[in-house]
């Protein structure tokens, strides 16, 4: 994250010299007090419900804390992490599933979103209507979306009926969510369906900042559509690209609701994810310490991803 | 525009036809599940299944009624769930607008010691996804003190689980909202503040009477961006709310779905909580779109 200094919009305002010094000082004091008072509620709430939980999560990761326990909490060092990576095959599987999900969703969703943005950015009638339609799944709750797609993925559901009728019965489809080899792929499809409209809009706002003159100049130089995209659009979208990739990656690593609603991690852990497993251990099995340790693994991944993407996309062009 | 030769015009027209074909295909892809959901919510279960094979799955034909909706109301207190979600959402959005805009005002327009540090911390909070703190936060809120009215006396108790405040208070302050407000407020000329100060106005008056009325778009953006996640809350309430009378709609739906294979009723439930959001979205899609575009400045 780049360092951001507060905009000092009032730096140039100098009090008239006729005002007595004491009044200026009193005025500054009241301004300082007002500043503290007005920022206090937000700062206290962020401290209590964001900063404290982050620190608490870090501390609990090294303990055997349970949600309800007669025994006092004791420090267990790195035991939770050792257990996760050596004695908890479901965790390792969850980690791999999460990476697999992100590896597919990040490029697919970013690319699909860009394609949609290019399509609705054309100067054609109805472009706004299409933009609205592509965005509708984003305002639909992911819980609703998960239930709806679970219905469509049923062995005798809409998807299989459709496959059956377009292949004239030659291919029967499968029980998508009950089959370990298709369950994660099925969840990938609906996840992209739900979220891609959001990134279409982000790409679109990036596209609209590109000055039309650049395209005109490129056309005069004889650049076709592909050359215009490669040499004008793509380089101009650098900062948008960073933002889109970071937000999709972080969201993908945090995959939870679809799993909780549709598969509960099954069949045979084929769809268990990092966050799902952390909630299962930390909340359902009440092992707060172990769950916190798994959440910390997730947090470290998020930080690494943010740093790596920052690094890779720094002033390359 | 220069006159184009007919060959190029033909090429352009052909390209436009292709664009429309692709766009319509994509529109079908994005809409068919939702059309299917709304249509199925109106049909009896037997007919939903028998219609699956063809176009009738997407058309409200045959035995159409609102029976599934009545069934949902008979089975679960869905009105109560809706009310809970409305209370939680309104409280988060409303209190959030006040708290975050005051902080944005202090950061962008007032000089005070520690301002730079506070802004850096606020920005740093943006990198923390809620999922990373959910588990320790359950432990944390189970330890927090609370006031309860017992036998006509106010008493101390511990634990915020099963309450409205546990669904509301942690989500009021929002680093991104503070950031958006401070960005917007810093575009309003500060000469206005100076003039008001000379007229004897206090800083809070300047915030409330001058800056807030001039910042409608910022408030609309923050309201929209905080409304959706508040309405869609799922992970958090599913952990901290067991009491059915405090349950929000999304969690209520998951419980309903878990012990129910009557797909018509499930589709009625999902339609019921999707429709209001969809109506709000279509009614002010322009504001939605520009809010989401504004969220792209993050990072």
Same domain, yes or no: B31 and B176: no
Contact residues, chain B, for A241 at CB < 8 Å: none
What CATH number corresponds to the domain at position A159? 1.10.3720.10
Nearest CA in chain A to B188: A9
Better pLDDT: A307 or A170: A307
What is the total residue count of chain B? 299
* Residue A35 pLDDT greater than 70, yes or no: yes
Residue A9 in any domain: the answer is no
In the prediction, which pLDDT does B8 show?
76
Q: How many CB atoms lie within 10 A of CB B67?
A: 15
Residue A152 in any domain: the answer is yes
Pick from A121-125, B1-5, B63-67, B103-107 the range whose average pLDDT is largest.
B103-107
| Residue B4 confidence class, pLDDT cut points 50, 70, 90 | low
Half-sphere exposure of A127 toward its Cβ, with a 13 Å CA cutoff?
15
Domain that holds residue B258: 77-128+172-295
Same domain, yes or no: B119 and B60: no
B285 touches chain A (CB under 8 A): yes
Residue A129 in any domain: the answer is yes
Same domain, yes or no: B177 and B280: yes
In the prediction, which pLDDT does A73 show?
82
Residue A300 in any domain: the answer is yes
CA distance to A286, B140, B236, per residue, from B239 (Å): 11, 13, 5
Residue A291 in any domain: the answer is yes
pLDDT in tens, A218-259: 888 888 888 888 888 998 888 888 888 888 998 899 999 999
SS (H, E, C) B192-243: HHHHHHHCCCCHHHHHHHHHCCCCHHHHHHHHHHHHHHHHCCCHHHHHHCCC
φ, ψ for residue B225 (rounded to 5)? -70, -25
Residue A115 in any domain: the answer is yes
Computed over every residue of chain A, the mean pLDDT equals: 85
Computed over every residue of chain B, the mean pLDDT equals: 87
Number of domains composing chain A: 1
**Last residue in a domain, options B12, B41, B65:** B65
| A140-149, B104-113, B142-151: the lowest-pLDDT one | B142-151
Contact residues, chain A, for B37 at CB < 8 Å: 144, 148
Taking an 8 Å cut-off on Cβ atoms, the answer to whether A240 and B228 are in contact is no
Mean pLDDT of A88-115: 93
| Whether A193 contacts B30, CB under 8 Å | yes
Same domain, yes or no: B106 and B33: no
A81 touches chain B (CB under 8 A): no
Half-sphere exposure of A18 toward its Cβ, with a 13 Å CA cutoff?
0
Residues of B (105-134) whose Cβ lies below 8 Å from A: 105-116, 118-125, 127-129, 131-134
**Last residue in a domain, options B41, B65, B89:** B65
Mean pLDDT of A175-190: 89
Contact residues, chain A, for B169 at CB < 8 Å: 45, 49
CA distance to A32, B146, B164, B296, per residue, from B152 (Å): 42, 16, 21, 51
Mean pLDDT of B8-19: 83
B31 touches chain A (CB under 8 A): yes
Residue B138 in any domain: the answer is no
Residue B166 in any domain: the answer is no
In the prediction, which pLDDT does A312 show?
67
Q: Which of B198, B177, B1 is nearest to B99 (CA)?
A: B177
Mean pLDDT of A83-97: 91
Same domain, yes or no: B56 and B178: no
Which of A6, A19, A150, A293 has the most B C-beta neighbours within 10 Å, making it the best mutation to test the interface with B? Answer: A6
In the prediction, which pLDDT does A181 show?
85
- pLDDT cut 70: percent of chain A above it: 92
Q: Give CA torsion, residues A182, A188, A194, A198, to 10 deg.
A: -170
Same domain, yes or no: B94 and B30: no
A92 touches chain B (CB under 8 A): no
- Measured between CB atoms, which of A33, A49, A134 is closest to B30? A134
| Residue A43 confidence class, pLDDT cut points 50, 70, 90 | very high
| A287-296, B115-124, B154-163: the lowest-pLDDT one | B154-163
Residue A118 in any domain: the answer is yes
pLDDT in tens, B187-243: 888 888 888 888 888 889 999 999 999 998 899 989 988 998 999 999 999 989 988
* Residue A13 pLDDT greater than 50, yes or no: no
Mean pLDDT of B14-26: 89
Residue A308 in any domain: the answer is yes
In the prediction, which pLDDT does A1 show?
40
Same domain, yes or no: B4 and B104: no
Residue B71 in any domain: the answer is no
Residue B165 in any domain: the answer is no
- Measured between CB atoms, which of A134, A261, A303 is closest to B26? A134
Residue B145 in any domain: the answer is no
In the prediction, which pLDDT does A269 show?
87
In the prediction, which pLDDT does B154 show?
73
- To 5 degrees, how large is the angle CA A12–CA A17–CA A23? 95
| Residue B9 confidence class, pLDDT cut points 50, 70, 90 | confident
φ, ψ for residue B157 (rounded to 5)? -150, 170
Better pLDDT: B193 or A18: B193
Same domain, yes or no: B61 and B120: no
d(CA A214, CA A221): 11
In the prediction, which pLDDT does A18 show?
56
Residue B255 in any domain: the answer is yes
What CATH number corresponds to the domain at position B238? 1.10.3720.10
| Residue A17 confidence class, pLDDT cut points 50, 70, 90 | low
Same domain, yes or no: B61 and B187: no
Contact residues, chain B, for A161 at CB < 8 Å: 52-53, 57
In the prediction, which pLDDT does B297 show?
56
| Residue A2 confidence class, pLDDT cut points 50, 70, 90 | very low
* Residue B299 pLDDT greater than 80, yes or no: no
Mean pLDDT of B87-93: 96
Number of domains composing chain B: 2
Residue B164 in any domain: the answer is no
In the prediction, which pLDDT does A26 show?
78
Residues of B (161-190) whose Cβ lies below 8 Å from A: 169-173, 175, 178, 182, 186, 190
Same domain, yes or no: B112 and B40: no
Question: With the C-alpha atoms ordered A191, A192, A193, A199, is the resulting torsion angle positive or negative?
Answer: positive
Residue B150 in any domain: the answer is no
| A261-275, B150-164, B280-294: the lowest-pLDDT one | B150-164
A10 touches chain B (CB under 8 A): yes
Cis geometry, peptide bond prior to residue B26 (ω within 30 degrees of 0): no
User: How far does Cα A292 stand from its chain's mean position?
Assistant: 20
| Residue A315 confidence class, pLDDT cut points 50, 70, 90 | low
* Residue B263 pLDDT greater than 80, yes or no: yes
| Residue B178 confidence class, pLDDT cut points 50, 70, 90 | very high
Taking an 8 Å cut-off on Cβ atoms, the answer to whether A132 and B197 are in contact is no
A82 touches chain B (CB under 8 A): no
What's the pTM? 0.86
Better pLDDT: B88 or A16: B88
* Residue A3 pLDDT greater than 50, yes or no: no
Same domain, yes or no: B4 and B117: no
Better pLDDT: A61 or A156: A61
Same domain, yes or no: B109 and B248: yes
Q: Which of A116, A240, A118 is nearest to B297 (CA)?
A: A240
Taking an 8 Å cut-off on Cβ atoms, the answer to whether B127 and A36 are in contact is no
d(CA A267, CA A153): 14
Domain that holds residue A260: 89-312
Residues of A (56-75) whose Cβ lies below 8 Å from B: 56-57, 60, 65, 67
């Amino acid at each position: 994250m780049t360092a951001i200094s507060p905009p000092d919009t009032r730096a140039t305002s100098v009090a008239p010299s006729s005002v007595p010094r004491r009044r200026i000082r009193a005025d500054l004091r009241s301004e300082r007090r007002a500043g503290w008072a007005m920022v206090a509620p937000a700062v206290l709430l962020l401290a209590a419900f964001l900063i404290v939980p982050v620190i608490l999560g870090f501390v609990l990761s090294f303990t055997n804390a349970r949600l309800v326990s007669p025994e006092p909490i004791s420090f267990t060092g790195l035991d939770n992490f050792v257990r996760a990576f050596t004695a908890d095959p479901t965790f390792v599987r969850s980690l791999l599933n999460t990476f697999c999900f992100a590896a597919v969703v990040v490029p697919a969703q970013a690319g699909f979103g860009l394609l949609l943005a290019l399509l609705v950015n054309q100067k054609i009638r109805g472009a706004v209507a299409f933009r609205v339609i592509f965005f509708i799944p984003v305002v639909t709750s992911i819980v609703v979306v998960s239930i709806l797609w679970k219905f469509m993925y049923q062995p005798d559901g809409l998807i299989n009926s459709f496959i059956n009728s377009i292949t004239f019965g030659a291919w029967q489809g499968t029980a998508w969510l009950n089959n370990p080899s298709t369950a994660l792929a099925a969840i990938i499809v609906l996840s992209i369906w739900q979220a891609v409209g959001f990134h279409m809009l982000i790409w679109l706002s990036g596209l609209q900042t590109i000055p039309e003159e650049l395209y005109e100049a490129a056309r005069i130089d004889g650049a076709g559509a592909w050359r215009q995209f490669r040499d004008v659009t793509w380089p101009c979208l650098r900062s948008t690209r960073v933002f889109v990739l970071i937000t999709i990656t972080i969201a993908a690593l945090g995959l939870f609701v679809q799993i909780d609603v549709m598969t509960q991690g099954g069949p045979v852990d084929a769809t268990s994810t990092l966050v799902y497993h952390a909630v299962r251990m930390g909340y359902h099995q009440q092992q707060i310490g172990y769950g916190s340790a798994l959440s910390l693994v997730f947090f470290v991944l998020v930080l690494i991803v943010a740093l790596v993407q920052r690094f890779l996309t720094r002033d390359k062009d | 525009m220069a006159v184009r030769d007919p060959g190029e015009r033909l090429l352009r027209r052909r390209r436009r036809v292709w664009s429309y074909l692709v766009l319509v295909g994509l529109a079908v892809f994005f809409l068919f599940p939702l059309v299917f959901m709304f249509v199925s919510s109106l049909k009896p279960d037997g007919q939903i299944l028998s219609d699956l094979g063809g176009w009738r799955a997407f058309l409200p034909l045959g035995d159409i009624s609102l029976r599934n909706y009545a069934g949902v109301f008979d089975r679960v207190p869905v009105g109560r769930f809706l009310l809970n979600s409305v209370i939680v959402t309104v409280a988060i959005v409303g209190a959030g607008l006040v708290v975050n805009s005051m902080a944005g005002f202090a950061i962008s327009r007032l000089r005070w010691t520690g301002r730079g540090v506070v802004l850096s911390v606020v920005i740093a909070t943006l990198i923390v996804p809620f999922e990373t703190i959910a588990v320790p936060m359950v432990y944390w809120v189970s330890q927090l003190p609370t006031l309860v009215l017992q036998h006509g006396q106010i008493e101390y108790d511990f634990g915020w689980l099963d309450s409205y405040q546990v669904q509301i208070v942690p989500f009021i302050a929002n680093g991104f909202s503070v950031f958006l407000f401070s960005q917007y407020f810093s575009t309003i000329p500060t000469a206005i503040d100076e003039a008001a100060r000379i007229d004897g106005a206090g800083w809070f008056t300047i915030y409330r009477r001058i800056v807030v009325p001039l910042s409608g778009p910022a408030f609309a953006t923050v309201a929209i961006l905080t409304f959706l996640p508040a309405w869609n809350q799922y992970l958090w309430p599913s952990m901290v709310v067991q009491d059915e009378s405090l349950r929000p709609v999304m969690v209520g739906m998951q419980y309903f779905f878990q012990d129910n294979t009557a797909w018509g009723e499930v589709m009625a439930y999902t339609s019921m909580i999707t429709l209001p959001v969809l109506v709000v979205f279509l009614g002010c899609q322009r504001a939605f779109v520009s809010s989401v575009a504004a969220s792209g400045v993050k990072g």
